[in-house]
């Protein structure tokens, strides 16, 4: 297909709107769509290019890791079974290289469309880009998805082949247990990563949803999608779809009801009177109910069997380890923001102070966090009779949180606090007024169903450096925090 610049795609859309055939489109809708294509194309192209680069980079990364794991298996196997190693790994490095080359160069081609789990949003976006004459990027992404699926199937086949070989030779299980576990882990995380790239299309951003909504109101776009979408090619769309003519030859609701009634009442033979008819209908209904229950039971058995094979995908390898739910996420998706506060009682030296803090943490996995933060100390005065708002200092924090069990985590941190009232930034440069705090304790996390906050944290911490401060501060710190 000839690639048309973004401006030309916008022009085509504008012409489609001004054609007399579509005069029924409202002026307000036409005005919005005419002003929209440049932003739409820019956003969609940017998203597609970003996903293309990310998918290629991550797939190459995992293929290289899995190839290294296979190389370790080959080296260990060669020491005990050279002939078997030669036979099992013949041509394997070349196949990995071929997959990596395809990922870098495959841009899709005519007659090759995405084959795999149907992705409605991807299908809609593919139709949109083809309609606007900008299908090159989405064709490349579809091709890379198929290449990644084929690479996963290849590694999955390799894993099964090696596992079967090891199972037949008991003496190899101890030697190859560790590298095989590494291969299984990498395959699992690669499958998870690939599934995430597919699921990204199920949550389009606001601008993309707005664009698709507006385009779907255009008769020309509707007709185009009926003929060119992946779903239309899969199930076919009648030429008279949406018109009364499309109903010709279909069974009516009354006819279907008569067939069901005849099946339910099939057990009534030779009966006379309403009681016999009722008895026959009851017997037929009981038989139908029994059949439905049997079918439901069998369906549950099939679902249970599929579940044991893997969630979300039939060829998803089942992990024999505890997966890290953060490993396949990008750096930005592993960041977590939070706010917290704590209040210290007044004493001879300090007024009552509330610390308002903010934090930025990085998810290591399994609810383990490492992060940094800052706080502002607001003074309230020395009692109800002497209320005064003062700037009592600031604080800089670092912390580590490791899950213990359930909703409880061990927490440790190191902080620098400026605990002297200040009125200008220059005063904060006086290092002699900064004190250190070393905190250890326990944190309980409570999930929240809130639009703004994901969870609440309750932390009880012991400042083991408080005894060395002059004047001494309270050793126990209680903080309430919220995760954004």
Span 257-291, pLDDT tens digits: 776 667 665 544 444 444 555 555 555 556 666 76
Of 303, 305, 131, the C-alpha closest to 226 is 131
Of 62, 75, 53, 235, the C-alpha closest to 155 is 62
294-308 in b/e form (b: 16+ CB < 10 A) is eeeeeeeeeeeeeee
| Residues of the chain above pLDDT 90, percent | 22
Cβ contact 483:337 at 8 Å: yes
Pair (209, 357) in one structural domain: no
Pair (88, 214) in one structural domain: yes
Per-residue DSSP letters for 13-45? Answer: HHHHHHSGGGTTS-HHHHHHHHTSHHHHHHHHH
Work out the pLDDT band at 465, boundaries 50, 70, 90: very high
Which position has the higher pLDDT, 286 or 219? Answer: 219
Helix, strand, coil in percent for the chain, rounding step 5: 55, 20, 25
pLDDT for the residue numbered 24: 39
Which position has the higher pLDDT, 39 or 429? Answer: 429
Q: Looking at the domain assignment, is residue 284 inside a domain?
A: no
Rounded to an integer, the average pLDDT of 19-30 is: 41
pTM of the model: 0.63
> What DSSP designation does 268 have?
-
> What DSSP designation does 437 have?
E
**Strand stretches in 317-470, DSSP E:** 335-344, 352-365, 368-381, 387-405, 408-418, 434-447, 455-463
How many angstroms separate the CA atoms of 377 and 390, rounded? 9
Residue 205 pLDDT > 80: no
Least confident of 108-117, 243-252, 304-313, 356-365: 304-313
**Of 188, 212, 235, which residue sits at a domain end?**
235
pLDDT for the residue numbered 236: 55
Pair (192, 52) in one structural domain: yes
Least confident of 100-114, 225-239, 409-423, 450-464: 225-239
Which position has the higher pLDDT, 60 or 388? Answer: 60
How many angstroms separate the CA atoms of 190 and 350, rounded? 55
Q: Looking at the domain assignment, is residue 421 inside a domain?
A: yes
Pair (342, 200) in one structural domain: no
Q: Looking at the domain assignment, is residue 274 inside a domain?
A: no
Pair (19, 163) in one structural domain: yes
* Helix or strand run (H / E) with residue 6: helix 6-18
Pair (51, 172) in one structural domain: yes
pLDDT for the residue numbered 412: 94
Pair (226, 353) in one structural domain: no
Cβ contact 277:265 at 8 Å: yes
How many angstroms separate the CA atoms of 179 and 162, rounded? 11
Which position has the higher pLDDT, 47 or 10? Answer: 47
| CA distances (Å), origin 118, targets 114, 225, 228, 233, 272 | 9, 15, 15, 12, 54
Highest mean pLDDT among 24-38, 87-101, 302-316: 87-101
| CA distances (Å), origin 75, targets 78, 189, 396, 398 | 5, 24, 50, 44
Neighbours of 370 (CB within 10 A): 13
How many angstroms separate the CA atoms of 40 and 49, rounded? 14
Pair (82, 194) in one structural domain: yes
Rounded to an integer, the average pLDDT of 111-140 is: 71
pLDDT for the residue numbered 8: 37
Work out the pLDDT band at 242, boundaries 50, 70, 90: low
* Domain of 100, in residue numbers: 6-235
| CA distances (Å), origin 66, targets 158, 159, 166 | 10, 10, 18
Neighbours of 162 (CB within 10 A): 22
Neighbours of 483 (CB within 10 A): 20
CATH of the domain at 373: 2.40.160
Cβ contact 377:405 at 8 Å: no
Per-residue DSSP letters for 332-371? Answer: GGGEEEEEEEEEE---SS--EEEEEEEEEEEEEETTEEEE
Pair (33, 149) in one structural domain: yes
Least confident of 56-70, 149-163, 184-198, 229-243: 229-243
How many angstroms separate the CA atoms of 301 and 80, rounded? 43
**Of 235, 252, 280, which residue sits at a domain end?**
235
Work out the pLDDT band at 457, boundaries 50, 70, 90: very high
Work out the pLDDT band at 200, boundaries 50, 70, 90: confident
Cβ contact 62:190 at 8 Å: yes
Q: Looking at the domain assignment, is residue 161 inside a domain?
A: yes
Q: Looking at the domain assignment, is residue 213 inside a domain?
A: yes
| CA distances (Å), origin 172, targets 164, 220, 250, 414 | 11, 64, 63, 48
- For residue range 317-365, what is the model confidence (pLDDT) as tens digits? 566 777 888 888 888 889 999 999 888 765 555 667 888 999 999 999 8
Q: Looking at the domain assignment, is residue 215 inside a domain?
A: yes
How many angstroms separate the CA atoms of 2 and 11, rounded? 16
How many angstroms separate the CA atoms of 22 and 240, rounded? 19
- For residue range 381-438, what is the model confidence (pLDDT) as tens digits? 776 666 777 888 889 999 999 999 889 999 999 999 887 777 777 878 888 888 899 9
Rounded to an integer, the average pLDDT of 184-201 is: 84
> CA quadruple 366, 370, 376, 382: dihedral positive or negative?
positive
Pair (342, 210) in one structural domain: no
Question: Angle at the Cα of 361 (from 355 to 362), degrees rounded to 5?
Answer: 170
| Relative orientation angle of helices 120-131 and 219-228, to the nearest 10 degrees | 120
Which position has the higher pLDDT, 92 or 280? Answer: 92
Least confident of 170-179, 311-320, 473-482: 311-320
Work out the pLDDT band at 131, boundaries 50, 70, 90: confident
**Of 235, 269, 284, which residue sits at a domain end?**
235
Rounded to an integer, the average pLDDT of 102-129 is: 71
Q: Looking at the domain assignment, is residue 250 inside a domain?
A: no
How many angstroms separate the CA atoms of 248 and 342, rounded? 73
Domain count, the chain: 2
How many angstroms separate the CA atoms of 482 and 445, rounded? 9
Averaged pLDDT score across all residues of the chain: 75
> What DSSP designation does 386 have?
S
Question: Angle at the Cα of 131 (from 36 to 231), degrees rounded to 5?
Answer: 120
pLDDT for the residue numbered 111: 54
Work out the pLDDT band at 310, boundaries 50, 70, 90: very low
Rounded to an integer, the average pLDDT of 440-455 is: 87
Q: Looking at the domain assignment, is residue 353 inside a domain?
A: yes
Rounded to an integer, the average pLDDT of 108-137 is: 69
Burial class (CB within 10 angstroms; exposed 0-12, middle 13-18, buried 19+) of 372:
middle
pLDDT for the residue numbered 402: 93
């Amino acid at each position: 297909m000839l690639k048309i610049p973004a401006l030309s795609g916008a022009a085509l859309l504008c012409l489609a709107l001004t054609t007399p055939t579509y005069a029924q489109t409202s002026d307000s809708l036409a005005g919005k769509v005419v002003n929209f294509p440049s932003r739409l194309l820019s956003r969609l192209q940017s998203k597609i290019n970003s996903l293309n680069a990310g998918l290629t980079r991550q797939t190459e990364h995992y293929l290289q890791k899995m190839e290294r794991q296979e190389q370790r298996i080959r080296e260990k196997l060669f020491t005990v079974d050279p002939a078997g190693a030669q036979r099992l790994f013949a041509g394997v490095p070349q196949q990995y290289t071929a997959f990596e080359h395809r990922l870098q160069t495959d841009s899709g081609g005519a007659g090759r469309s995405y084959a795999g789990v149907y992705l409605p949003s991807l299908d809609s976006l593919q139709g949109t880009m083809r309609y606007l004459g900008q299908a090159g990027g989405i064709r490349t992404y579809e091709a890379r998805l198929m290449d990644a699926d084929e690479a996963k199937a290849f590694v999955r086949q390799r894993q099964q082949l090696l596992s079967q070989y090891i199972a037949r030779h008991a003496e190899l299980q101890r030697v190859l247990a560790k590298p095989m576990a590494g291969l299984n882990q990498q395959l699992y995380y690669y499958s998870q990563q690939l599934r995430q790239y597919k699921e990204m299309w199920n949550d389009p951003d606001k601008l993309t949803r707005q664009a698709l909504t507006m385009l779907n109101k255009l008769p020309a776009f509707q007709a185009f999608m009926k003929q060119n979408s992946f779903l239309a090619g899969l199930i076919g769309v009648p030429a008279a779809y949406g018109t009364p003519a499309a109903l010709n030859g279909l069974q009516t609701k009354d006819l279907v009801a008569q067939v069901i009634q005849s099946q339910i009442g099939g057990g009534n033979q030779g009966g006379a009177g309403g009681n016999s008819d009722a008895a026959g209908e009851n017997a037929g209904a009981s038989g139908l109910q029994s059949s439905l229950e049997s079918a439901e039971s069998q369906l549950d058995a099939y679902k249970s069997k599929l579940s044991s094979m893997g969630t979300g995908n039939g060829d998803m390898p089942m992990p024999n380890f505890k997966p890290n739910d953060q490993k396949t996420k990008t750096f930005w998706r592993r960041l977590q923001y939070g706010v917290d506060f704590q209040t210290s009682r007044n004493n001879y030296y300090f007024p009552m102070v509330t610390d308002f803090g903010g934090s930025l943490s990085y998810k290591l996995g399994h609810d383990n966090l490492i992060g940094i933060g800052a706080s502002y100390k607001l003074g309230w005065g020395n009692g109800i009779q002497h209320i005064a708002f003062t700037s009592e200092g600031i604080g800089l924090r670092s912390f580590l949180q490791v899950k213990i069990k359930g909703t409880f985590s061990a927490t440790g941190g190191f902080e620098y606090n400026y605990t002297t009232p200040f009125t200008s930034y220059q005063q904060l440069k006086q290092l002699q007024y900064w004190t250190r705090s070393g905190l250890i304790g326990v944190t309980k996390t409570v999930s929240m169903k809130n639009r703004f906050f994901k969870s609440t944290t309750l932390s009880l911490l012991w400042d083991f450096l408080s005894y060395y401060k002059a004047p001494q501060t309270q050793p126990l710190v209680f903080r309430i925090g919220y995760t954004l």
